[in-house]
Amino acid sequence: MALTSGTRLGPYEILAPVGAGGMGEVYRARDTRLGRDVAVKILSTHLSSDPDLKQRFEREARAVSLLTHPNVCCLYDIGSQDGTAFIVMEYLEGETLAVRLRAGPLPLPLSLKIGVEIADALDKAHCEGIIHRDLKPGNIMLTKSGAKLMDFGLAKPVTTMLGGVAPAPIPSQDAPTMSARDLTSPNAPFTEHGTISGVDSRPASRFPK
C-alpha cells in the first residue's frame, strides 16, 4: 500500500518514499513527538493480515530493538494502524555498499574499515543471540559516521523437534552461487517471509564472546 506525503501513522508523519523490498515499502517520516526524521517500513499485506506472523514479528522485533551498536541501524518502534503494520528505524543518509561498488573497487583502507565495522556489529549481534542471515552489500549503508548494518529482514527460522535452532545446512557443490554483480543488483533476492531473520531462542550466554 503506497502512502502519500502527510499521511500519519500514529505520531509518524510520512514525508517521502525511500524504496521498496520484500517486506514492503520504506518511507522517510517525521517523528512529531521527538522532532527527528526516521525510516518507516510498511509491512507487506500478508504479514499484516496474518495474526500469527504479526505476533511473532512483534515479539522478535523487540529482541532486535535491544541491539545497540554504533554500526547497527537502530530499530525504534513497531506499530499498527487501520490494519497497516509498520516498524520504525533510524533514518540513515548515505549510500549502500551495493551502490558504491557499482562505481568500481573500493580502496583497500576503506575496504578494511568497512569490514572491521561490520564484523564488530555482527559480533555484538551474535553475543545477543541474533544472527543476521541476510548479509549483503545492499544491507550495508555507508554514512559519514561509518558503515551501518541494516535490515535484519524477515525469514523463517529452521527449528528442531526439541524447539532448538538447527544449524544451517551446508550448501551442496551443485547449489547455485552468486557473483558480486548478483549481490549488487537491484533485483537481488530477499529472504523468505515469516519472522525476523536469525533471532535465536537460545540464551545469549551460549554464544562465544
The cell for 42 is 510498511
Can you tell me the distance from the alpha carbon of 94 to that of 145, in angstroms, rounded to the nearest whole number? 10
Can you tell me the distance from the alpha carbon of 165 to that of 159, in angstroms, rounded to the nearest whole number? 4
Catalytic annotation, residues: 134
HEC profile for 86-135?
Answer: EEEEECCCCEEHHHHHHCCCCCHHHHHHHHHHHHHHHHHHHHCCECCCCC
Can you tell me the distance from the alpha carbon of 27 to that of 47, in angstroms, rounded to the nearest whole number? 18
